[in-house]
Amino acid sequence: MSSGRKIELDRRKFLTASIGLASIMVLDVSTAKRLLADMPEEEANRVGMLVTPSQCIGCRACVEACKNVHGGKTGTLYTDVKEIKRYNLNVPILCMHCEDPPCANICLTGALTKLGNGPVALDQSKCIGCTLCTGACPFNRIQYDQSQRVAFKCDMCQERVSKGLVPACVEACPVSPKARLFGTYKEVLNEGVKNAEKIDGLLVFPQETSTLYVVKKEWLEELSNPPIKLSDKYPQEARLMANISKYSEWGLVPVALGVIGYALMWRKEKFR
């Protein structure tokens, strides 16, 4: 049996372990280490974000930095920090940047795209405000602003990254080690393994998202609830909905034409 096949079987075995959330994509430390050892170069070199809630102090410096970078728009349209009082925990929230993003699959205009280096980006100039993406996102990470009639989402600060900088939220995090870490996927997964070892934790959604979380097993039930929604129904339910949307594209044509017509009329009135 090839090493790659063995790793896949190890993953499936762990996913069906009796942790109470059989379908959630979580990996224990030993399985994650084997994935690291056999990771293809293309996957290893894409970018990723590691979130370690146990290291977050809830200062919200990340949210303010995001707000400043995006021209003073409300920072929580891109990222946020939520308190889980039950565990005295602060949980940073940002786009999960899915490998097979339901939002991009359902977008009518191509405004949402999965970039080659990992993140899912939004071109607001192509957004018609149909809000299909907000309903498709299994994590509720895409926000629609009614006043501007466009969607907003984190893109891992691609403009900054293209200049050799790290995302603003990562740069602003004042703790050491940081609650948010940016790097290649292999780097963040490797650091995630170390952080998980420290707290006897698990890694959530490896190989399914470019944003990874380090959590304890006992946190999972609470974290699966809104607004954090690290759901046990991902990625299976999200993929099902995306597939349904693909097969029903022709049925969406009248809706799409109506939405596009409305958007064009609105833009015409706006700029008259």
What pLDDT is recorded for position 16? 36
So where are the chain's domains?
3-270
Predicted confidence at residue 144, as pLDDT, reads 92
126, β-bridge pairs = none
pLDDT, position 26: 84
Residues of the chain scoring pLDDT < 70: 1-24, 73-75, 232, 238-272
Q: State how far the Cα of 181 lies from the Cα of 138, in Å rounded to an integer.
A: 23
Q: Is the peptide bond before 167 cis (omega within 30 degrees of 0)?
A: no
Residues 234 and 205: their CA atoms lie apart, in Å, by 9
pLDDT of the residue at 177: 93
Task: Please tell me the predicted confidence (pLDDT) of residue 253.
Answer: 52
Distance (Å, rounded) from C-alpha 238 to C-alpha 85?
Answer: 28
Amino acid 129: pLDDT: 94
* Nearest residue to 58 (alpha-carbon basis) of 85, 88, 33, 81: 81
In this prediction, residue 235 carries a pLDDT of 72
Domain 3-270 has CATH 3.30.70.20: yes
pLDDT tens, position by position, 159-193: 999 999 999 999 999 999 999 999 999 999 999 99
Instruction: Tell me the C-alpha distance between 204 and 210, whole Å.
Output: 11
pLDDT of residue 17: 39
**CA of 130: how far to CAs of 77, 122, 227, 244, 258, in Å?**
17, 14, 22, 18, 10
